[in-house]
Structure 1
Amino acid sequence: MTIQKDKPTVLILGGTDFIGRHLVHYLVTQNLTSHIRVADKMLPQTAYLSKQHEQAFEKIEFKQANLVNPASIASCFQRDDNTEFDYVFNFAAECKYSQVEEVYQDRILNLSVNCAKEAAKRKNKFYLMLSSAEVYDSDQVASKESSKIKPWTVVAKYKYQAEEQLKKMEGLNLVILRPAVTYGPGANTGLTPRLIIGRVYKHLNEEMTLLWSKDLKLNTVHVNDVVRACWHLALWYQSTEHPQVPIFNLADKQDTDQETINTHLRAIFGIQTGYHGSVVSTFAKLNLNSVVEDINEKHLQPWADILKANNVQHSPLSPYLDPELLYNNAISVDGTAIEERTGFKYSVPYLSKENLQQIIDEFKALNLWP
């Protein structure tokens, strides 16, 4: 691989997963770097990469690694020519919900701290930690970066603990990013389970009825804007002084709520949608685990039947909804500070039917969607 000295070198931790693969594709297609190394425990060959992303990964260096282990982390940072990577992006973290707390302690907090320690020791010019908008109080008011912190998922609880530890590290050139619900081609989580459930209700020929109200905020940001923001911040960081660690939210202009999403689901699948009344929602609040169990039971078998009928042999996609994500908690985020302070502009300002259809179309191309 030819190294062009005039362009920065990049290390992407957790780079095979959803956001990481999109950053790889962006950097490769825009020819922005001289060398990219991706470190991840998941091999590209088993990650259900799209054809475009496969082609991008052919042009980078991949290193399989356990990013909890300090010795393994050190080997990921070590370059053959003994120079240091210019920019490091850390997307590696446990993202599945309802794991035991020890898993998050190890795969979010310890992983984040150990990777950042290595970056601080090597004095990389820029280090980005991907956090979550779930760290904020879950009311309907749009949270700014200075708003009340009250993590409402266990993932967010450990992300915030990691943020706090990283902010204290000497020599770490840190920026923290807190995106809203991130969606786009290749996403297994976020809005994708709602698309899957919409497909289930088309199959069942029934109305799709949701808990809580139509105006429950579920603010969104397209993955293309997440990766563009990551690169934008790396360049911006070099040109300004930082007496405090910069923290930025990411959320598009849509102010997305449940009804915004349902409008598109109706258009895509030709289904009816509605909302349970206050009596059912109040019951759900008091008996959430039982209600979620019933919801998942209703969706899982029909989805399996649809996959089988359409000869989809193996699919990582599931309509399973985790109880943590079904609480009456809003994701309401003000994403304007990054524009005002750094000049960043969102390229996908609104959630659209076409953007959601792209998610389905990519999974269809991989024979993962019926």
Structure 2
Amino acid sequence: MSEKPKFLILGGLGFIGRNVLAYLIDQKVASKIRIADKAIPETASLSDYFMAYLNQPYVERIQCNLSNPEQCTRAFSDEHFDYIIDLASETKYGQDDAVYKQHIVDVAVNIGNLVKEHKPNRFVYVSTAYVYDSAKKPCKEDAKLKPWTKPAQFHLQAEEELKKMGLPLIIVRPAITYGPGDLIGMTPRFICGAVYKHINEPMKFLWSADLKLNTVHVRDVAAAIWHLCQKGTNGEIYNLADKNDTDQGKINNMLSILFRIETGFVGTAISTMARMNMKSVVEDVNEKHCQPWSDMCRSAGITNTPLSPYIDQELLYNNPLCIDGSKIEQTGFRYANPNLTPVLVKEVVDAYINQGLFPLPKEYSKPKPTVMPKFE
């Protein structure tokens, strides 16, 4: 293609969407990027870093509710896009089935119908690795499907609906995605680390150190999406997971280093008892974390933040997330951030501190102004 392509990013103000936007701009690969999202920048907790990308002259923003077919049409109007990326699904936990049906399945179907008419070179649907049955061995793309979170159940339904439409479709299933802009992936655990520093107690989680919680950095997700637009195969599914083989022990080690706290696990007996009354246990644990976090924010003069240490019950069961992310490497892709490191965790925390959304923890060095790396 002689001219640079045009991109439509649906859900482009979200966590992954804003990073895809930054990646495409840093790579200088786009002649135009349209962002369609029901949110507006002022309510999306965008840092100055991401706002600078959004304000580029060849970036266009449209506010629309993609679960509404008429509004969804606006996202596609008056332009032909070479690549369409669907990141518009509901990501919050704890919602009703009707909400997930509307904001995952219906949104995907509305978009799919328009993609069929639009005929782009490629349509990338970003699903989730939670669609696999929990297993201790890494799940490849053909592994048993048995979603164990509500959003994943509806993502799988959306995948099946899109497969029926005859689209130039690629499905991406990322592991737990972390990095700048993350609210619900790893960040609640990072916040818990700061809370335990504040209350001066050891941080102990349920189950054991070897419970797999495989991860992938958002910059690698963004790079993979563009890579698959060029070199992926229509009809294929690609997992995204780094080389870290992240588990609870490795996460606790990161938090121990970053916040200078003691970490551990409550033990088999207490974990087994918790399984019998999980709802009550989770409520107690989240209450223990949320009140100190509120106190920390109030003391720091933070009156409004999207950040919370709350971890949904669905994510606290003894279900390993163990994902094989090597298939995409057969197409020439390489993970730039193959390991979860204290530096990458600190980058997330520092960015939120600089935004005034995360109170400075005890004994934590005040971060320098946020200068995130350019995408290479």
TM-score by length of 1: 0.95
> Which residue does 2:256 correspond to in 1?
266
Query: Deviation string for 1:260-287 (max 9, x for gaps)?
Result: 1111100011100111111111111111
Say if 1:126 and 1:174, in contact at 8 Å, map to a contact too: yes
> Which residue does 1:214 correspond to in 2?
209
Query: Deviation string for 1:132-157 (max 9, x for gaps)?
Result: 00000112111000000000001000
> Which residue does 2:322 correspond to in 1?
332
Q: Which amino acid aligns with 1:23?
A: V
- Is residue 149 from structure 1 mapped to residue 138 from structure 2 by the alignment? no
Query: Deviation string for 1:148-171 (max 9, x for gaps)?
Result: 00000010000001111111112x
> Which residue does 1:369 correspond to in 2?
358
Question: Aligned-residue CA RMSD in angstroms?
Answer: 1.1
Distance between the aligned counterparts of 1:133 and 1:100, measured in 2? 21
Distance between the aligned counterparts of 2:33 and 2:2, measured in 1? 13
Equivalent runs, 1:73-112 vs 2, <5 Å: 73-79=72-78, 83-112=79-108
Aligned length: 357
- Shift of the alpha carbon at 1:309? 1.1
1:286 to 276, 279, 282: 276
Q: Which amino acid aligns with 2:182?
A: A
**Tell me, which stretches of 5 or more residues in structure 2 are unaligned?**
360-376
1:49 to 20, 31, 46: 46
Say if 1:29 and 1:56, in contact at 8 Å, map to a contact too: no
Say if 2:212 and 2:248, in contact at 8 Å, map to a contact too: yes
Say if 1:25 and 1:52, in contact at 8 Å, map to a contact too: no
- Is residue 298 from structure 1 mapped to residue 295 from structure 2 by the alignment? no
- Is residue 359 from structure 1 mapped to residue 348 from structure 2 by the alignment? yes
Distance between the aligned counterparts of 1:332 and 1:113, measured in 2? 29
2:30 to 30, 33, 36: 33
- Shift of the alpha carbon at 1:206? 0.4
Distance between the aligned counterparts of 1:13 and 1:316, measured in 2? 21
- Is residue 139 from structure 1 mapped to residue 135 from structure 2 by the alignment? yes
Say if 1:5 and 1:34, in contact at 8 Å, map to a contact too: no
Say if 2:92 and 2:184, in contact at 8 Å, map to a contact too: no
- Shift of the alpha carbon at 1:321? 1.2
Q: Which amino acid aligns with 2:158?
A: A
Distance between the aligned counterparts of 2:334 and 2:2, measured in 1? 29
- Shift of the alpha carbon at 1:29? 2.1
Runs of 4+ in 1 over 3 A off after TM superposition: none
> Which residue does 2:374 correspond to in 1?
none
**Tell me, which stretches of 5 or more residues in structure 1 are unaligned?**
none
- Shift of the alpha carbon at 1:5? 7.0
Query: Deviation string for 1:328-347 (max 9, x for gaps)?
Result: 1111000000001x111100
> Which residue does 1:72 correspond to in 2?
71
* Compared CA separation, residues 31 and 115, structure 1 to 2 (3 A): same
